[in-house]
Amino acid sequence: METRIGTEPLRNLTQEERSAYESDGVVLVSDVLDLGWVDLLCDAFEVALTNPGTLQKSTPQKVAEEDFSPI
């Protein structure tokens, strides 16, 4: 049986997180995405890296595995 991935965030971003994003352009947030989405994205990146298709010349030839490790 297939597990359904949640379509709503697990929690809303705090005002502090929003402010940090607005001022810094980046923010680390935890416990927002359903882990099913994280797994799906990791699998998709793996497929894209091993089968780059016609755009392969615009991607790095070698990508370190640690670049895609969970934080």
pTM beyond 0.85: the answer is no
Q: Examine residue 2 and state whether it is found in any structural domain, yes or no.
A: no
Range of the domain at 52: 31-71
Domain count along the chain: 1
Residue 29, class by beta-carbon neighbours within 10 Å (0-12 exposed, 13-18 middle, 19+ buried)? middle
Q: Taking a C-beta distance cutoff of 8 angstroms, is the pair 65, 45 a contact?
A: no
Q: Examine residue 54 and state whether it is found in any structural domain, yes or no.
A: yes
Which range has the worst mean pLDDT, 31-35, 45-49, 65-69? 65-69
Q: Examine residue 7 and state whether it is found in any structural domain, yes or no.
A: no
Q: Examine residue 37 and state whether it is found in any structural domain, yes or no.
A: yes
Q: Examine residue 68 and state whether it is found in any structural domain, yes or no.
A: yes
Q: Examine residue 17 and state whether it is found in any structural domain, yes or no.
A: no
Q: Examine residue 23 and state whether it is found in any structural domain, yes or no.
A: no
Q: Examine residue 39 and state whether it is found in any structural domain, yes or no.
A: yes
Interval 16-40: pLDDT, tens = 999 999 999 999 999 998 889 889 9
